[in-house]
Structure 1
Amino acid sequence: MGSIERKRLRIGVDVGGTNTDGVILDPARAGEPDKGIVAWHKAATTTNPSLGIGNAITEMLTTAKIPPFDVASVTIGTTHFVNAVVERDARRLSPVAVLRLCGPFSHHTPPCVDWPEDMRELVLKHYAILPGGLEVDGSLISGIDEAAIEAECATIKEKNIRSIVICGTFSPIDTVERQEERAAAVVRRVLPGYDIVLSKDVASLGFVERENAAILNAAILAFARKTIRAFHEPVQRLGLQCPVFITQNDGTILSGAMAARLPIRTFSSGPTNSMRGAAFLVNGEMDLQNEAVMVVDIGGTTTDVGLLLASGFPRQQAAYSELAGVRMNFSCPDIKSIGVGGGSIVRRHAAEGDSGSKMTVGPDSVGYKLTTQAVVFGGDVLTATDCTVQANPNNVAIGNPDLVECRLTDDELAEFKQIVKQRIERVIDNMKTSPRDVPVLLVGGGAVIAPDTLKGASRVLKPRWSGVANAIGAAIARVSAVVDTVKSTAGITTTVLLKQIAEEAVAQTVAAGADPSTVKIAEMETLPLQYVENKSRFVVRAAGDFDYSRADIDMPSKDAVLETTDNVDMDEYDKIAQEKTQNSDASDSKADATNKTQTIDVNIDDYKPTVKDRVWYVTETDVNWIASGCYVLGTGGGGSPYTHMVRLREMLRKGFVVRVVSPDDLADNDQVCTGGSMGSPTVGIEKLPGDEMLQAQRELAKVCDTPPTHLISIEIGGGNGLQSMIVGASNNMDLPAVDGDWMGRAYPTKWQTTPVVFNERTPVFAPMAMCDGNGNVLVMRQATSDLNVERITRAAVSQMGSSAGCAEAPVTGAETRQWAVKHTISQAWRIGRAIDLARRTNRIDNVADSIIDACGGKQAAKVLWKGKIVGVERTLRMGHVYGECVIEGAGSSDDVDQSGTAPFVGRAKIPFKNENIGVIRVRDTDDASVENQETQDDVVALVPDLISVIDDQNGEAIGTPEYRYGLFVTVLGIAASDHWTRSERALSIGGPDAFGFNHLKYEPLGTFVKPQSVIDEFDTSSQ
């Protein structure tokens, strides 16, 4: 056996839609010129993947003369599952039924409401909103109704749906009631043998995103189970006594049984494998420690593009990820895909009204039938590979060049090359966050169709073995383990607990097969369980390299997933390339759906909002922008506007009219009611609203003498920024919203509002009504002060699940003109437009500058800090989430700005109470227990100025519940409204003293610039 005798070798196999690639890797020789690659293989993917895997392994073992006992593991990566979703393949996607356990909540946000229409129609065949769900403290919204579940089972059976998702409100923290598990037991009893997915097994808090992920997982479950069984067969047949792994999204491995239960975790493993393999191949040739590299993986059907970071891992998506236009809440590599590959079908179409022709390349592909259907192999389907061979017959040794000679004219060949080049350049440009050129690595079996130079690339490299980079990435996949647990914090600090849990995660990773010397903590999160005394949820992930030298790892190759008598015939999933007529633009837009949220395609520069006779008629485009801006103005709090945006968008689609008027146009005697939700931001992402806001307004009307004429939001920040529009446009209301609010941002308490600052009426917010949406109503007819209104209602809301809809007594139009922070809906709209424009023009690196311009320029706003979140601590006091986010600066001692300082060196912390309180530099100290050590010199910014954290990956704001380890962020400061800086009283209510930072003095970060009114700018009544 020569040099490989007694080596512990790793086999990596990547089963793509077109090719099955394989490598045998000797890790001990990874530093040698051949990178330790003992054997490699590439062949067309077979209908039954077990045949292709078996052929690949057999050929490599035979060629390299390797006995089976020298193989330490087989790791398989696949695009089978994600391709089924992206291609909307009804043969591989099962219809799904959804059973929601959430009581009276979420009716306005049904399952899949934010999905692309074709995906929703294909997958979601039935849903029911049933009794059940928990409050944030673990108490019941309501118990489950077994009879109701049984009735839905009968309907599901009648509709011939065999995949069922069960999703309960706050199910990820449900360790006592176990409602999802109990509901599943009912379903199994009534419908034995059906596939059931519990949302809590798929993702964490964030109801819409968790449910979306669970539905996709359920849709692919049957196909995944059959596919993974097929993966295991050849390993057993060849007598390999080693574990079989499946690669998952983050570049680590899953057991076959786990992958069969949660195939969604493998969805992005193909691109991740290619990027990891690319990094392995160029290690030593490129300085990956100092520059990011764009990896372009061209397969037979698609081209996947991602950015490889200095860590050797792909750049991850933001706090929320998307696949096929579906938003989910677990991290995936940030990959963009287009429908261009080596097997893409090339067509020449007669242009309508023209004697010429128009060429299209893809998105349909012959896929793994390239070697039988492509012209260069004797077939009759013209593919991108055929065109490439004709254009380069002496340099591309694929098939028989004589078969494609003169197939296209010179002009047509030039057109083909230009189409491919422009498509690849476009997707590279879309992945860049700045206009600077970046190195580009071409990998994948279809890389031959790419040109040697690309616009936007500082250089284009195609390393040796690039055609099997995906298999190499699978072979070197790491081992990981996650500890997700609830611990008591009584008598012990979260720092100590995190250390203990991290040690446990490391131990589990080592037990799973990792080399102890390589294991590191990849992610950690702490989530206090609100209104559950001294309890917090901790999530810690560790990862390390596989320990090739160990022979004691108890991972038998016979996985539980194989213990079945089911037929493993994969022929029913044979992919048949079908004729399609989409033009190239439609093709790219469909492929790009893997990466982008549904948005209305508008030209931002030309778009003008509809304003007639001083009334702004809000459109879907406006709603999207306003929601983005509201989260920036939420300063970390206020709750995510996303579900409220979806609800308002659906109202518009159903014909509701949303109107906004300027506070400057209010009559003195107009009656302006205030609306907003009260509670925890964490609750807002999990317990989807019902009718509590509208009900509160109706209850208030019963005790008020005069009916309202307008509605104003209590705060523009977060989800409350949309409530005046949602409630105002609702049935039986039909009231315009006022372009303003009582905060100009988000604050945690009701008394931190501008009417209280002016102190011209006490109390302002009584009478008021509160409704929890679950049948409980509180009406406060009078109070002695707004502070007491806050204290009493805050105590009440804690018994209402930390979330209630509120309606406050109306104020006059004259009072509104004086007290309101004006034109804040307009400000949110401008911020959101700036974010959208930065994304569409690939200038995410400059999104902070765009937001600054939208807020009045550099005199009114500035970047306060930039870097990576390296620590988050949260505690709970009196219903509010208190905490601290620590950000490692992105600068170094060599980085100096124009003022001669290096502002982002070291660490800064952001203390928060629901909302961000300040940005404070962290002193270097060995004593981590020292508290309140900050001095005035450490202060970067303080309330009442707005402090917002922007996700560097997408330019969107993130709230305090979404702060997590590893996110790269920019911290933005915006000068507060002069209502908050006009007096000592104002600062005492909204400044640092109100948050317990009375040892620090507020110093303005800039000069407030009054937001420009959309109505003033775009009114057409005078035209």
Structure 2
Amino acid sequence: MLTNMYRIGVDVGGTNTDAALLDVQALNTPGRGVIASHKTSTTPDITSGITNAIRAVLAEGSTSVGNADLGSHVLSVTIGTTHFVNALIEADARRLSRVAVVRLCGPYTRMLPPFTDFPKGLRQIIEGGAYYLGGGLEVDGREITPLDRDEVAACVKKIQAASIDTIAIVGVFSPLDTEGRHEDTCKKIIAEIDPSLNVVCSHGVGPPGLLARENATILNAAILATARRTISGFGAAMRRLRLGCPLYLSQNDGTLISAEAAAAYPIKTFASGPTNSMTGAAFLAGLDSRGAEKSADSENFQTLVVDIGGTTTDVCALLPSGFPRPAPNYVDVGGVRTAFAMPEVVSIGLGGGSKVKVDADTGTVTVGPDSVGHRLTECARIFGGSDLTTSDIAVASGDADELGDPKAIAELKASLPASTVAAARATIRTMLEKVVDQMRVSAAPIHVLLVGGGSLLLPPGDSLSNVARCTRPIHHGAANAVGAAIAKVSGEVDTIVLLEGRDERDVVDAAKAQAVQAAVDAGADAEDVRIVAVESIPLQYVHNKATRLIVKAVGRLATPTSLPPRLDVDETNVEAADAVEVDEGAKEHREPPVPAAKPALLVDLSEYRPEVCDGVWYISEVDLDLIATGTGVLGTGGGGPSYQELLHGLHLLEHGGARGKMRVVAPPSLDDDALVCFGSWYGAPSVINERISSGGEITKGIDMLKAILHIDSFQAVLTDEIGGGNGMSAFATGVHYDIPVVDGDAMGRAYPTMYHAIPYVYGQPIAPCALSDAQGNVNVIMSADSPERVERLLRTAAVELGLGCAVCAKPLPGNVIKKYVVPNTISQAWYLGRAVHIARRSKTSLTDAIFATTTGKVLFTGKIVSVSRDVTRGYTMGRVLIAPVSDDGGDSESAASSEAPHMLIPFQNEYLYAAWSDAKGTETRELVCTVPDLISILGHDGEALGSQELRYGLRVTVIGMPAHPLWKTEKGLAVGGPAGFDLDIPFTGVGEYSPPRSVIEEYGS
């Protein structure tokens, strides 16, 4: 057994570089094993600051433990840095490469080209062209088309001619391609042609969901050269210090990654800075071992970490495990949507270097977001500079007399008015109180762990009005470095498996063993590795039991059997790493770029007026953004992804000549005998998310029906279902034929089958009906004995077509549409979206805003504690159990054993009913709401969650909304009520239906 073993953690921020030295054998002592810590300014070349910080803690540690050569007992160095992600946030062309994207997709994915949702500034720097090649897989493992070597070679020549040296390869369903038939083979072909090209394959970067995985792959490729150079610099710093131990970087989830792996996948380290601070704070406060805290009166706390750095303040809620609360679903990185597991962190422009400004006319004091960053010792007045900063305010208040030059401090205190100091302190306190309120998840008292070098902005003994307890853990100033030092090692499997004909337990056990081995291979102690998460998510509508399987294993870093070698290196002979300019500080603090897919952020929605002229509503980018949010709320868990349709609509408005053609009219404007066409996406949302359509499938099916029925033209197009992505699919159809979209839909929500459209419930014909895909296949059902039979025939054909296609039913005349349409649902989606966006921006109640526009009520608020899914008759059946939010607001198991009522919501793609249950999910048979009334589950940001997005730990609000009266008749309930889903329960509603407001009527005058 080795003795005197140490680990070093380093965190490189925009202002300061922190280092901490920990005794591995004293981690459970009151001092938490911290032998030494040191804070130094981040240097322009980064590596010098790292070298200085590590050298300082080694010197201090050597003195403390009496070991002159303590460096020979260092087992590892772990570095966390925001350098890579800041290059993207700042759109710094010096540190980003242009990237060519090669999609292996056959005829698919053209609807959404690469870089579609990149902010324009970042896109101009990174975009290096898009190439669509053969290849890619169906969800059942079949090839879409074969990979063509000659086609790859021709593509490489084009990329070379464009002087691009970095390539992102993205194959459809590549996470399913465990044999590497396509992406890896394509990479080998490219390497044979030109070994100098940098190539990144998407299956090593992200999970299923093509666009988010592709975005992450592009970002990873763009930063690759900088990452290699920077990590090489980290290695040079260790050589200068003669440290022969392994070098690690901390990942987004608070675990470790080797330097070699980080150089290949730098995107996995993007969120490591905030995560280090959060895990370090929990460790120093002892929450990693004690779990949820309780006060003397046994009242639980919700614990927030407030990390005040030099430029920003990061706030995160802690789980009792000591890890940060994860962000739900997708995460924006530099304005780009990715699907990484990152902590849910809210940042504001407040730090020790934030500039304090006083308006000469009004005397108003403002703080930040501009910052002097790492130039604090040059620019702040306490160091003789000319900029008034928050650190100056802290010193002038008498809270940090040890900071700064005594002479400069005396001059500051003599010249700075007390009123300015008081106003700045009040502003700082208000900023912190607001961001704490933003992160709280319950009414329980808040315990803040205050860490970071800028924590002097809130002096000891001072607190926030909305905080019950404020604690500065020991070594709080180095919590980020401590978090890096104590990080564990993880191994993860995230793939799609085909379970048909296989024992699911054997498949899961094999995935567990693979995850454990991945953790051990990454450096974890084999005796300590344990499985911390297993999630099995069946894909909707598939017949081969295709299932997304996510398994994660975590263990502490293994202790070597012998001490690492002490390098005998002459520092003067170590080749200096390339200088890389520091990420923050040299520039003014800037807010992150607005994502291209969020145009509503660019306008004042309270003043925004949609364009309505002569009874026609002309759709803008802002309208699309609002409608996308609203269709999610109306989706009741289904309807497919709204995000893709939003991007498609934005792309058409910008590049497709859609302006003036993308328009909406009210149902009464239709002529009785004019024909209205239908067309929507049909299949499994999980497939549609991955095998993105070509964009022409719907119109191909409509054209087939036109030919069969000898139809010349249509007056308008009607949305089949307003819920989810299908609620927006008609916009592109309207643009194609230059006809308007009717303000309404055939369901008033989302339902899992075609025959759930109201016209078919009341006897209107569904056939002839066409099913079409991107490869030119069109399947037409001329007639059937019932709408249910049409659905079964369509579903069988859809499986053969890969479960991602378009369905187009028989066009119907205007008088039928006016009789059976649910009116004004596009308007309803618009009003809902506007309400959510305004409430989110103003930090007011999301549900109050929603119900100011739509009739309904809150059914429950809580945390998802269980999700089960199975495939029955081709449909994803499941149940989600929601517990009341535990008092600590964290990931507390106390909620699961509580006697408080839980809510159980079964779903068949869409949510079927909500009922009270106990903590085990046993129903009390007390119903809260059932179909056809709408049940929607909202995330903390007001965005609706599809049934495929439900996962353990998410904080959610369940709302109910009344369905249209046509669903409440005997015929309507027989199809769309509980009986239509073979449920032996009575219909239970949530109130009387109120017709939605009309945008055309309100804004047309």
TM-score category (smaller protein):
0.7 to 0.9
* Distance of aligned partners of 1:500 and 1:678 in 2 relative to their CA distance in 1, 3 Å threshold: same
* Distance of aligned partners of 1:383 and 1:87 in 2 relative to their CA distance in 1, 3 Å threshold: farther
Q: 2:36 matched to 1:39?
A: yes
TM-score between both structures, scaled by the size of structure 1: 0.86
Q: Secondary structure at the match of 1:840?
A: helix
Distance of 1:145 and 1:490 partners within structure 2 = 30
**Pairing partner for 1:166 from 150, 169, 174:** 169
Amino acid at match of 2:18: D
Q: Secondary structure at the match of 2:810?
A: strand
Q: 2:998 matched to 1:1003?
A: no
**Pairing partner for 2:451 from 443, 463, 469:** 443
Q: Hey, what does 2:407 align to over in structure 1?
A: 402
Q: 2:203 matched to 1:200?
A: yes
CA contact (8 A) 2:536 2:547 kept: no
Q: 2:997 matched to 1:1020?
A: no
Q: Hey, what does 2:936 align to over in structure 1?
A: 948
Deviations 1:55-88, CA, capped at 9 Å, x for gaps = 3333323322243354343222112112222222
Distance of 2:225 and 2:366 partners within structure 1 = 35
Deviations 1:191-220, CA, capped at 9 Å, x for gaps = 312221111111111111111111111111
CA contact (8 A) 2:239 2:574 kept: no
TM-score between both structures, scaled by the size of structure 2: 0.87
CA contact (8 A) 1:92 1:573 kept: no
CA contact (8 A) 1:872 1:965 kept: no
Q: Secondary structure at the match of 1:571?
A: coil
Q: Secondary structure at the match of 2:492?
A: strand
Q: 2:704 matched to 1:699?
A: yes
Amino acid at match of 1:851: I
**Mean Cα displacement is larger for which, 231-240 or 830-839?**
231-240
* Distance of aligned partners of 1:913 and 1:593 in 2 relative to their CA distance in 1, 3 Å threshold: same
Q: Hey, what does 1:814 align to over in structure 2?
A: 815
CA shift, 1:25, in A, is 2.0
Distance of 2:232 and 2:586 partners within structure 1 = 28
After superposition, residues 308-323 of structure 1 pair within 5 angstroms as: 308-323=318-333
Q: Hey, what does 2:718 align to over in structure 1?
A: 712
Q: Secondary structure at the match of 1:53?
A: helix
**Pairing partner for 1:571 from 565, 568, 579:** 579
Distance of 1:343 and 1:595 partners within structure 2 = 31
Q: Is there any run of 5+ residues in structure 1 with no aligned partner, and where?
A: 559-564, 581-586, 895-901, 926-932
Amino acid at match of 1:443: V
**Pairing partner for 2:951 from 948, 964, 981:** 964
After superposition, residues 605-1004 of structure 1 pair within 5 angstroms as: 605-654=606-655, 655-657=658-660, 658-689=662-693, 690-706=695-711, 707-728=713-734, 730-731=735-736, 733-759=737-763, 761=764, 764-843=765-844, 846-858=845-857, 862-864=858-860, 866-875=862-871, 877-878=873-874, 880-890=875-885, 905=900, 909-919=904-914, 937=925, 939-952=927-940, 954-983=941-970, 985-997=971-983, 1000-1004=984-988
Q: Hey, what does 1:465 align to over in structure 2?
A: 475
CA contact (8 A) 2:636 2:910 kept: yes
CA shift, 1:714, in A, is 0.9
Distance of 1:104 and 1:556 partners within structure 2 = 55
**Mean Cα displacement is larger for which, 611-620 or 643-652?**
611-620
CA shift, 1:371, in A, is 3.8
Q: Secondary structure at the match of 2:807?
A: strand
Q: Secondary structure at the match of 1:703?
A: helix
CA contact (8 A) 2:380 2:392 kept: no
Amino acid at match of 1:382: D
CA contact (8 A) 2:772 2:778 kept: yes
Deviations 1:393-450, CA, capped at 9 Å, x for gaps = 6733223142365566527666765665555555445445579884444322233345
Q: Hey, what does 1:79 align to over in structure 2?
A: 82
Distance of 1:144 and 1:135 partners within structure 2 = 14
Amino acid at match of 1:618: I
Distance of 1:435 and 1:95 partners within structure 2 = 48
Q: Hey, what does 2:536 align to over in structure 1?
A: 525
After superposition, residues 214-229 of structure 1 pair within 5 angstroms as: 214-229=217-232
Deviations 1:227-275, CA, capped at 9 Å, x for gaps = 2232234445545454332111111111222211111111111111111
* Distance of aligned partners of 1:883 and 1:174 in 2 relative to their CA distance in 1, 3 Å threshold: farther
**Mean Cα displacement is larger for which, 28-37 or 161-170?**
28-37
Amino acid at match of 1:971: V
User: Percent of aligned pairs with the same residue?
Assistant: 37
Q: Secondary structure at the match of 2:601?
A: coil
Q: Hey, what does 2:893 align to over in structure 1?
A: none
CA contact (8 A) 2:355 2:388 kept: yes
**Pairing partner for 1:53 from 50, 55, 70:** 50
Deviations 1:430-477, CA, capped at 9 Å, x for gaps = 445579884444322233345755565455544442221101111221
Amino acid at match of 2:334: A
Q: Secondary structure at the match of 2:728?
A: helix
Q: Hey, what does 2:894 align to over in structure 1?
A: none
After superposition, residues 93-172 of structure 1 pair within 5 angstroms as: 93-172=96-175
**Mean Cα displacement is larger for which, 143-152 or 217-226?**
143-152
Distance of 1:568 and 1:525 partners within structure 2 = 48
Distance of 1:459 and 1:794 partners within structure 2 = 57
CA contact (8 A) 2:597 2:650 kept: no
CA contact (8 A) 2:627 2:826 kept: yes
Q: Hey, what does 1:928 align to over in structure 2?
A: none
Q: Hey, what does 2:6 align to over in structure 1?
A: 9
Deviations 1:465-490, CA, capped at 9 Å, x for gaps = 22211011112212322134555535
Q: Secondary structure at the match of 1:937?
A: strand
Q: Secondary structure at the match of 1:630?
A: helix
CA shift, 1:12, in A, is 1.4
CA contact (8 A) 1:478 1:514 kept: no
Q: Secondary structure at the match of 2:140?
A: coil
CA contact (8 A) 1:442 1:461 kept: yes
Q: Secondary structure at the match of 1:789?
A: helix
CA shift, 1:815, in A, is 1.1
Q: Secondary structure at the match of 2:793?
A: helix
Distance of 2:39 and 2:878 partners within structure 1 = 52
Distance of 1:567 and 1:788 partners within structure 2 = 74
CA shift, 1:1017, in A, is 5.0
**Mean Cα displacement is larger for which, 354-363 or 636-645?**
354-363
Q: Secondary structure at the match of 1:573?
A: coil
**Mean Cα displacement is larger for which, 23-32 or 198-207?**
23-32
**Pairing partner for 2:20 from 6, 19, 23:** 23
Amino acid at match of 1:621: V
Distance of 2:185 and 2:609 partners within structure 1 = 52
The RMSD of aligned alpha carbons is 3.8
The total of aligned residue pairs comes to 969
Q: Hey, what does 2:310 align to over in structure 1?
A: 300
Q: Secondary structure at the match of 2:818?
A: helix
* Distance of aligned partners of 1:400 and 1:334 in 2 relative to their CA distance in 1, 3 Å threshold: same
Distance of 1:608 and 1:903 partners within structure 2 = 48
Distance of 2:328 and 2:546 partners within structure 1 = 28
CA contact (8 A) 1:648 1:726 kept: yes
CA shift, 1:834, in A, is 2.8
Q: Secondary structure at the match of 1:867?
A: strand
Q: Secondary structure at the match of 2:50?
A: helix
Q: Is there any run of 5+ residues in structure 2 with no aligned partner, and where?
A: 295-299, 568-572, 890-896
**Mean Cα displacement is larger for which, 683-692 or 237-246?**
237-246
Distance of 1:634 and 1:212 partners within structure 2 = 26
Q: Secondary structure at the match of 1:541?
A: strand
